[in-house]
Structure 1
Amino acid sequence: MKFSKLITVFAGALVVTTLLVACGTKKESNADNAKQSQTTKSEPKKIEVTDAKGKKLTVPTHPKKVVVFDNGSLDTINALGEGKSVAAVALKNLPPYLSEFKSVESAGGLKEPDLEKINAVQPDLIIISARQESFKKDLEKIAPVLYLGVDNAKVWESTKANIMTLANIYGKETEATKQVETLEKNIAAVKEKAQKANLSTLTVLSNEGQLAAFGPGSRYAIVNDVFGFNSVDKTIKASTHGQQVSYEYVLEKNPDVLFVVDRTKALSGKTTETLVASNELVKQTNASKNKKVIDLDPTLWYLSGGGLQSTQLMLDGVAKALD
C-alpha cells in the first residue's frame, strides 16, 4: 500500500514537471517568435532597381530618409506625394520651384556634397546625377547611391525610366503612370503645333556674355528631340557643355526663335552684364524682329530637368514660342 502511494506521488510529480517544462518551452518559443517578428518589422523591405547607367543595385522600399542631389528626381518624388521622405538636398543650388524643401537639411552644393552633414543625416538612400559622380564612392560608404542622370541621346526614354524607378521604390507605379501619360499628351500637343509652325530654333547657353549652342542629342536636346522644334543648325556637335559660338554665328544662322539659358543668372541670381536679347547682332535676327528671343528659366534649365514637374515646366517655357 505504501509502495503504491509512492508510485502515485512520483507519477504526479512527473506530470507537474513535464507541464512546467512544456509551459516554459512554449513561453520561450513565443518570446523568440515575437523577437523575430519585431526584427522583421524593423528591417525595411528592399527592392532591386536599375540605375540610369544600367547598373543593378538593391535599395530600401519606402525609404524614410533620402538625400537628393538630382533636382529632377526631387521634383518627381514631390509629385508622387513622397516629399516627406526627403531629409537633405543641395540647398545651395535649389531652384525656386522646389522652394518648399528649403526647410530640410543642407547636403552641400551640386558639385560639392557635404559628406559630414550627409553622414549625420544617416540616410536610407542617396540619389545623384552627373555632377556628383566623382563623390559616388565616398557617398556609398554612407548609404546606397542611386544614379539617375538623363541620357541626352534618348532624353524622354531615360526620363520616363528614372520616373518609374522612383515610383517602384515608393510603390507609386499607378500614380506615376498616370502622370507620365498626361505629360505625353501635353508634349504631343506642343510637338504637333511646333511641326505645323515649322520655325527654325537655336538654343544657347549664355555665360558672362559667352555663348554655347545646343542641338539634337545635346544637353538641351529635349527642345528638338522631344518637343519637336526644328534646329536651325543640325551640325552642332552634341555635347554637355555645348559648342562655343559667336554672336556673328547667331546672325548667320538667323533663327526664327532663339531660346536663351542664362547660366550666370542660374548660379548667382544676377543678370549677365551683356544680355543676349540686347546684342546688336541678335537684334538683326528674325527671332528678335518677331519678338521670339525667349529667356528660359535658368534655374530650371541649368539646375534641374528630367522630372515630372520640371519636364512640364520646360514644355511650358518653349511653348511661348508658339504664341
Structure 2
Amino acid sequence: MNTMNANHSRRQILAKMGQGLGVLVTLPLAAQMSHAQTAAAGKTVTVTVPHAKGEVQVPFKPVRVLVFELAALDTLQALGGEVRGVPEFKMPPLLARYADARYARIGSLFEPDYESIKALSPDLIIVGGRSEAKYKELSRFAPVLDLSVSDQHQMADIYRNIRTLGAVYGLQDKAEAEVRSVEQAITALHGKAQDAGKGLVLLTSGGKLSAYGPGSRFGMLHDVFGVKPAIDNLTVARHGQVVSFEFLLKTNPDWLFVIDRDVAIGQDGKTAQQLLDNPLVRATKAWRGKQVVYLNAANWYTLSNAGPGALKANIQQLSDAFART
C-alpha cells in the first residue's frame, strides 16, 4: 500500500446508539497498534466524535484532560476516565473525589485561568453550559469538547455525551452499560410517575420563587420522568417564571418538587423548608398530603441532572417518594 493510500486508510466504528443517535469514531491506521506502542512511536491517535457543536477530532485515550463541565466529571467518574484539572469550586458530594489537591485548579466554572491551563499543556479540554462561552479561547490550548445539554432534547444530549466520552477514552462498553442503566431506571420511574398526580417544580433563591414546567431546564421531571404538569402555560425561560405563594395555592399541585438554589451554591439565608412553611402553602394539596419533595439541589441545579450518577440518584429519590404514597 503506498503512503497516500495508507494515510487515507480508516477504520470506522459505529457504536450502537439508542434513540436514533450515533457516535462515529474514526481511527487512523496507527490505532491498530496498542496505545502504548503508538505513544512510544511518537504518533497521536485521534477519534472523531459528536458534541454540541457538531463533530470534533480529539486525541484517543487522552491523559492531560481539563474538565470545566461538572456533569462531564460525573460521567468520567462513572466510566473511570482520566482527569488532570477541575474548576475551583466547592464540589458537591457526588464529586467529592475531585476536591483532592491532586487535581489541578484551572479557573472557575465560568472563567478559565489561562496561565494555569497553558502550564498544564492539556491534551483535551471539556466545557459545557456554564463554560461554553469560552470555547473559542480555550481552543487555542487544545481540542475542546462541548458537552452542553439542550433543554429541548435533554436525554438525547446526555446519552450522546456519555457515548462520546466512552469513545474518546476507549471505554465504549462501560458507556453503553451506563446508558442502559439510566434507561432502565427511567422506565421504572415513568410507570410510577404517570399515576402519581400532577406536580410543579419550584426553585427557591434568596427568598424568591420560580416555577418550571415542560420544556424548561428542569422539565425533565415532566418530559422524561412522566410527572403530569400541574399547569400547562408556564413561561419557558432559563430562570423560570417568577411566582408567588398565592400562585402556589391557586395552582394547587398534588406534588411540589423543590430545588433550593441557595443550598446548591452554599448561600446563607432562609432554607426552602422555612420559606414554604406558611399558611398559603400549608393549604395546598401537596403540603396537606405530605407530598412536598425537597430535591437534591446539587444534583439538579449544580450538576444539571446531566450525568449518570446524578440522574440515577435523582430517579431513586423520586421513586422512593412515589412509593410512600
Offset of 1:164 from its aligned partner? Answer: 0.6
Counterpart position of 2:45? 45
Opposite residue 100 of structure 1, the aligned amino acid is R
How far apart are 1:157 and its partner, in Å?
1.2
State which drifts further: 313-322 or 93-102: 313-322
**Secondary structure class of the residue paired with 2:85:** strand
Q: Structure 2 stretches of 5 or more lacking a match?
A: 1-36
Stretch deviating more after TM superposition (72-81 or 37-46):
37-46
Match of 1:241 in 2: 239
Q: 1:134 to 1:38 in 2, by over 3 A?
A: closer
Change (3 A) 1:121 1:192: same
Sort the Cα spacing of 1:52 and 1:38 in 2 relative to 1 into closer, same or farther, 3 A: closer
Residue 92 of structure 2: aligned partner: 95
Q: Where has structure 1 moved over 6 Å in runs of 4 or more?
A: 37-40
User: What residue number does 1:14 align with?
Assistant: none
Structure 1 residues 175-186: aligned runs within 5 Å: 175-186=174-185
Determine if contact 2:260/2:271 at 8 Å carries over to the other structure: no
* Equivalent pair of 1:276/1:282 in contact (CA under 8 Å): no
Task: Describe the shift of the 1:99–1:252 C-alpha distance in structure 2 as closer, same or farther (beyond 3 A).
Answer: same
Worse-superposed segment, 207-216 or 271-280: 271-280
State the Cα deviation string for residues 268-321 of structure 1 (Å, max 9, x = none). 254535634313321111111111111111111111021111111121232243
What CA distance in whole angstroms lies between the structure 2 residues aligned with 1:297 and 1:67?
26
**Matched AA of 2:142:** A
Assess, with a 3 A threshold, how the Cα gap between structure 1 residues 238 and 58 changes in structure 2: closer, same or farther.
same
- Helix, strand or coil: the match of 2:306? coil
In structure 1, what residue type is equivalent to 2:241? Answer: Q
What residue in structure 2 maps to residue 129 of structure 1? 128
User: CA 1:224 to 1:268, structure 2 compared with 1: closer, same or farther past 3 Å?
Assistant: same
Other-structure match for 2:24: none
**Aligned partners of 1:91 and 1:203: how far apart in 2?**
29
Q: CA deviation at 1:39?
A: 7.4
CA contact (8 A) 1:262 1:272 kept: no
Residue 174, structure 1, aligned to residue 173, structure 2:
yes
Q: Judge conservation of contact 1:155–1:221 (CA < 8 Å) in 2.
A: no
SS at match of 1:160: helix
TM-score (norm 1): 0.83
State the match for 2:115 in structure 1.
116
Q: Unaligned stretches of 5+ in structure 1?
A: 1-36
- TM-score with structure 2 setting the length: 0.82
The offset of 1:160, in angstroms, is: 0.5
Matched residue, 1:218 = 216
Report Cα offsets for 1:52-78 as digits up to 9, x if no partner.
23x221100111011111111111111
Structure 2 distance, partners of 1:282, 1:169, is 49
Aligned pair in 2 of structure 1 residues 224, 185: CA closer, same or farther (>3 Å)? same
TM-fit CA distance, 1:119: 2.0
Aligned to 1:283: 282
Partner residue, 1:253: 251
Note closer, same or farther for the CA distance 1:38–1:157 as it changes in structure 2 (3 Å cut). closer
Q: Is the Cα–Cα contact under 8 Å of residues 75 and 162 in structure 2 kept in the other structure?
A: yes
Q: Is the 8 A contact 1:67 1:126 kept in 2?
A: yes
SS at match of 2:110: coil
Residue type at the aligned position of 1:250? L
- Distance in structure 2 (CA, Å) of the matches to 1:115 and 1:318: 41
Describe the SS at the equivalent of 1:131. Answer: coil
Q: More helix per residue: 1 or 2?
A: 1
Q: Cα deviation per residue 1:7-49 (whole Å; 9 max; x = unaligned)? A: xxxxxxxxxxxxxxxxxxxxxxxxxxxxxx8877333310111
Contact 1:257/1:321 (CA < 8 Å) preserved in 2? no
Larger radius of gyration: 1
- Matched residue count: 283
Say whether residues 1:307 and 2:307 are aligned partners: yes
Instruction: Report percent identity of matched pairs.
Output: 35
Distance 1:188 1:273 in 2: 32
2:199 aligned residue: 201
Q: Distance in 1 between matches of 2:284 and 2:39?
A: 68
One-letter amino acid matched to 2:89? K
